[in-house]
Structure 1
Amino acid sequence: MMAETMAGMDRLLTAREASFVAGVSYDKVVKALENRTVPNRAGRARQRALDLDGVLSLTLSDRLQGYPALMRRRVSRRVLEHLRGDGPDANAPDIIDSDGLVVTTFRTGELFRGVQERLSILVKLTASVERNPDVQGGAPVFRGTRIMVHHIADLLRSGTNRREIQEDFPDLDEEMLELALLFDRLHPVKGRPVRKAGQSEISLPD
């Protein structure tokens, strides 16, 4: 795998997780899987899962939208060559390409940094939430607590003041509130309307 050096994530991603890490809509992920432009690694019928190579491919394809076709292929080839040689390096040099009178600069390192930042948030989210059949009936809770993640997200979306939530649940800090919103979007409760992946509510940390 070209992306195996991206630290912290040692499992496949669901389609919703991939949409977040790639920075593209959930619908684009589903369409790419259906069209087989990225491989479905799930291994089971009616399931969807992507590896990090697939995520990077989605990000690259999205960033190259609007480029002339020949330029898009040339830039894509050079980015993939860099991935194979050096991995997803956040300090990768820019790619400069020209198509006649048009000169463009593709910021490869910026693409990799964005994916790595969002992946780091997903890793933190995975480490912060647990399911235990002996705690709240197996509902997702913040690790080491009985605080249900979906309940906190519901409170936030209903307009409840964040300070009030933290007074009622003193174990929660501001970052955990943001993670609750993200978890609720990536793992929606069955039967509820699902927020579109483009409706970001997550503040990326500095």
Structure 2
Amino acid sequence: MGAALLTPAEAAVIAGVSLRDINRVIDEKILPAGFTTVGDGRRIQLAACPLVGFYFRAAKALTAEERLLLILRFAERITGDMADHPFAGWSTADWTVHDGFLSVSLSGFVAEADDRSTRLAAARAMVVEDPAILSGTPVLRGTRIPLYDLVASVAAGLPRERIFAAYPGLNATALDLATLYAEANPVRGRPRRFTVLPPGATITAERTVPRRRRA
């Protein structure tokens, strides 16, 4: 089995950084050779996510040069089998690097990436794209709730209580996973219309009225 490759958006979610940070990692070749690829689309190995998280979130404590040297040391401990099966057994590995008086551990970043990876897998299992359901629009499994409409309601700042009232079968865990899925799989094109209206809003008309030209 080859190493699992992620899109930049997926890697950003699992590493706990921004999409811009992931693109910077690829463009500036921050990771050792082999952890990223651009040949068939920009991709980054799942196994590299703890390294990426460490690089950006340790910026306040360590210089860029120190972080790059530590990433090389950490990467040496990621064997071929570990890269093929992240993050199975990683919790028992020794992730502490000693450099003179400095001792740095990657363990916390490994645990966080493992947790986010598990949650993203659960989110993927929860989403269904079936041509027989809303013409293939991604929905939550067992429902007809359009995922991106749901997430748009969250992004608009609607209270969770209002969202739950609009979708009686929805719970907090499903809403969190839906948001995570959307972050890892951003929709392109024009924003989707909300299925939940903001408080106090009403639909007055569905047709567009052209503006009159002045004489």
TM-score, normalisation: structure 2: 0.68
Q: Distance in 2 between matches of 1:70 and 1:151?
A: 43
Give the unaligned 5+ runs of structure 1: 5-10, 194-206
Per-residue deviation, residues 153-177 of structure 1 (Å, max 9, x unmatched):
1222333332332233222110111
Following superposition of structure 1 onto structure 2, how do residues 120-135 of structure 1 map, counting pairs within 5 Å? 120-135=118-133
Following superposition of structure 1 onto structure 2, how do residues 43-192 of structure 1 map, counting pairs within 5 Å? 43-44=39-40, 47-63=41-57, 65=59, 67-68=62-63, 71-72=66-67, 75-84=70-79, 87=82, 89-93=90-94, 95=96, 97-99=98-100, 103-192=101-190
Residue matched to 2:211? none
Q: What is the Cα-based RMSD across aligned positions, in Å?
A: 3.1
Q: CA deviation at 1:93?
A: 4.0
Residue matched to 2:14? 21
Change (3 A) 1:34 1:177: same
User: Identical aligned pairs, as a percentage?
Assistant: 27
Name the amino acid aligned to 1:84: T
Q: Distance in 2 between matches of 1:25 and 1:136?
A: 32
Q: Distance in 1 between matches of 2:112 and 2:70?
A: 18
Q: CA deviation at 1:124?
A: 0.9
Per-residue deviation, residues 121-150 of structure 1 (Å, max 9, x unmatched):
111111111211221121111112211011
Residue matched to 2:204? none
Q: Distance in 2 between matches of 1:42 and 1:75?
A: 24
Q: Distance in 2 between matches of 1:14 and 1:110?
A: 23
Per-residue deviation, residues 32-73 of structure 1 (Å, max 9, x unmatched):
2234445544653xx322221343442343355453577545
Change (3 A) 1:159 1:72: closer
Q: Distance in 1 between matches of 2:133 and 2:155?
A: 24
TM-score, normalisation: structure 1: 0.71
Residues 129 and 143, structure 1, Cα contact 8 Å, conserved in 2: yes
Q: Please state whether the residue corresponding to 2:102 is helix, strand or coil.
A: strand
Q: Distance in 2 between matches of 1:160 and 1:68?
A: 40
Residues 129 and 137, structure 2, Cα contact 8 Å, conserved in 1: yes
Q: Distance in 2 between matches of 1:40 and 1:77?
A: 14
Q: CA deviation at 1:79?
A: 1.9
Residues 74 and 95, structure 2, Cα contact 8 Å, conserved in 1: no
Aligned length: 181
Q: Distance in 2 between matches of 1:146 and 1:168?
A: 12
